[in-house]
């Protein structure tokens, strides 16, 4: 918390590695217990590794820059740019883990702001807000969703997320986009003529010409959509038939392995994968297991009271509300990691998916309240600062506060109606 507020200090991954080492050194966990905690979280680590490899290969292909230019061509007026970007990036973030997407999105949107003469701070805030709202749609949209999908034991996680979160996500993308359009309308390009020229030069979604050379140079252009089709299709097939469920991590790893096998840029892709986030999660698993063993989770449970399985309706609001508050204290991924054993201790499991959806979505939407609510926000802020662009907390909360209130209200209302 001090590091996030002060804006300086050791990297977050090193703090969690130090915390996990202290957990073992003080006897809270044995070395074998720490290893077991990491082994239990291995599906999450493998899934993230697969998505990071695929995301890095997509960046290498230039596909996201092409998509940003195509979105510009779909924008009729400069004032509509926040709405179009919010919806477009939000949809992409449902299938590209948001921490990786913002790393790719910051330079893209700064370049777009330079070309269109829009205020870069506003476009970067649109990026931060959009990946938060859009990523709650799938279990692979963000790390906390993946934690919930793996730890809760819900059957067919992709189908479950779609069932409970497709409608609130669609409503929030439209309503949130309209809110951002109104909030940032004066920060968009003032030179309508220049904007019109850029819009006219925007490419088509699928570039013309032979795709053979493109796919040979960047096979991820075929492998990534195929991986997503297998992930979603396999889950839907399991939900509709008796076909065995395919672990999501195995599909992501298979897609990543195929990309590394056939791409000519495998060394560059592997070198630029964000390995520190995987180390961060390994440390987080040990620290959280130490919190369970040492009784900290019991203390959290006494302060954040959640009704038991017999009161799922009341639990939805309580879980989503406490997730918004708790995520501001320790960020949303650690909060979810701490809440999972709390809910399991209360008796929630695979048979109560709506409660797990409230935890995943509430903690995700909490990221739009302050910088501290989500790691993706910190990535945007730090990446912008390295390029000489300062994003103030007051500017973030001026729009983030009403956006969070709106999206959480829509979420809770939809989950209640769906009970």
What does each of the 419 residues of the chain score in pLDDT, given as a tens digit? 676 567 677 877 888 899 999 999 999 999 999 999 899 888 888 888 888 898 889 888 888 788 888 888 888 888 899 999 999 999 999 988 787 788 778 888 888 888 788 899 999 999 999 999 999 999 988 889 988 988 888 888 888 999 999 999 999 999 999 999 999 988 887 667 777 887 888 888 888 878 888 898 899 999 999 998 988 888 888 877 777 877 888 988 999 999 999 998 889 888 888 788 788 888 888 988 888 888 887 777 677 677 777 777 778 988 999 899 888 877 788 888 888 888 888 888 888 899 999 999 999 999 999 887 887 887 788 778 878 888 888 899 999 999 999 999 999 999 988 75
Residue 401 Cα distances to 129, 142, 179, 236, 331, angstroms: 11, 21, 12, 36, 16
Run of H or E including 157: helix 157-183
Can you state the angle between helices 42-61 and 220-240, rounded to 10 degrees? 140
Residue whose token pair is 């019991």: 298
Judge contact between 231 and 51, C-beta under 8 A: no
**Entry pTM:** 0.81
Helix, strand, coil fractions of the chain, as percent rounded to 5: 80, 0, 20
Domain count within the chain: 1
Rounded CA separation 100/142 (Å): 9
Judge contact between 215 and 42, C-beta under 8 A: no
The sign of the dihedral angle between the CA atoms of 29, 345, 413, 326 is negative
Residue whose token pair is 């130490």: 290
Rounded CA separation 198/75 (Å): 11
Residue 362 Cα distances to 168, 169, 338, 407, angstroms: 12, 12, 14, 9
| Among the listed residues 73, 244, 176, the one whose alpha carbon sits nearest the alpha carbon of residue 406 | 176
Residue whose token pair is 């994003």: 391
Q: By residue range, what is the domain housing residue 105?
A: 2-418
Instruction: Look at residue 7 in the predicted model and tell me its pLDDT.
Output: 63
Q: Count each helix (H run) and each strand (E run) in the chain, helices first.
A: 22, 0
What is the DSSP code string of 262-326?
A: H-TTHHHHHHHS-HHHHHHHHHHHHHHHHHHHHTHHHHHHHHS----GGGHHHHHHHHHHHHHHH
> What CA dihedral angle connects 97, 414, 229 and 264, to 10 degrees?
-10
Tally of CB atoms within 10 A around 255: 24
Query: Which phi and psi angles does 173 have, rounded to 5°?
Result: -65, -40
Tally of CB atoms within 10 A around 343: 25
Residue 256, CB-side half-sphere exposure with 13 Å CA sphere: 20
User: What six digits make up the tokens of 271?
Assistant: 């070198």
């Amino acid at each position: 918390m001090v590091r996030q507020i002060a804006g300086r200090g050791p990297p977050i991954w090193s703090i969690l590695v130090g915390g996990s080492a202290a957990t073992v050194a003080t006897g809270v966990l044995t070395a074998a217990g720490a290893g077991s905690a990491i082994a239990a979280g291995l599906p999450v680590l493998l899934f993230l590794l697969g998505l990071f490899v695929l995301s890095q290969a997509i960046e290498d292909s230039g596909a996201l820059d092409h998509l940003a230019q195509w979105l510009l061509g779909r924008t009729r007026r400069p004032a509509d740019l926040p709405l179009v970007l919010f919806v477009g990036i939000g949809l992409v973030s449902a299938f590209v883990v948001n921490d990786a997407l913002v790393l790719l999105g910051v330079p893209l949107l700064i370049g777009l702001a330079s070309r269109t003469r829009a205020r870069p701070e506003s476009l970067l805030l649109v990026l931060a807000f959009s990946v938060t709202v859009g990523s709650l749609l799938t279990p692979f949209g963000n790390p906390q969703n993946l934690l919930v999908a793996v730890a809760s034991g819900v059957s067919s996680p992709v189908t479950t997320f779609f069932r409970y979160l497709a409608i609130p996500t669609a409503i929030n993308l439209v309503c949130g986009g309209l809110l951002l359009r109104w909030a940032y309308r004066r920060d968009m390009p003032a030179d309508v003529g220049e904007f019109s020229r850029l819009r006219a030069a925007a490419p088509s979604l699928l570039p013309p010409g032979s795709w053979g050379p493109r796919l040979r140079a960047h096979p991820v252009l075929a492998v990534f959509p195929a991986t997503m089709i297998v992930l979603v299709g396999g889950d839907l097939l399991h939900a509709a038939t008796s076909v065995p469920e395919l672990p999501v991590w195995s599909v992501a790893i298979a897609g990543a392995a195929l990309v590394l096998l056939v791409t000519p840029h495998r060394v560059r892709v592997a070198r630029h994968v964000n390995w520190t986030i995987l180390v961060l999660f390994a440390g987080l698993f040990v620290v959280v297991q130490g919190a369970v063993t040492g009784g900290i989770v019991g203390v959290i449970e006494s302060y954040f009271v959640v009704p038991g399985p017999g009161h799922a309706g009341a639990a939805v609001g309580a879980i989503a509300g406490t997730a918004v508050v708790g995520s501001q204290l320790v960020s949303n991924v650690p909060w979810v990691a701490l809440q999972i054993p709390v809910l399991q201790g209360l008796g929630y499991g695979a048979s109560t998916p709506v409660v797990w959806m409230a935890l995943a979505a509430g903690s995700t939407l909490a990221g739009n309240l302050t910088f501290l609510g989500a790691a993706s926000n910190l990535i945007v802020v730090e990446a912008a600062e390295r390029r000489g662009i300062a994003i103030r907390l007051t500017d973030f909360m001026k729009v983030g506060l009403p956006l969070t209130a709106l999206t959480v209200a829509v979420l809770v209302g939809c989950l209640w109606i769906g009970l």
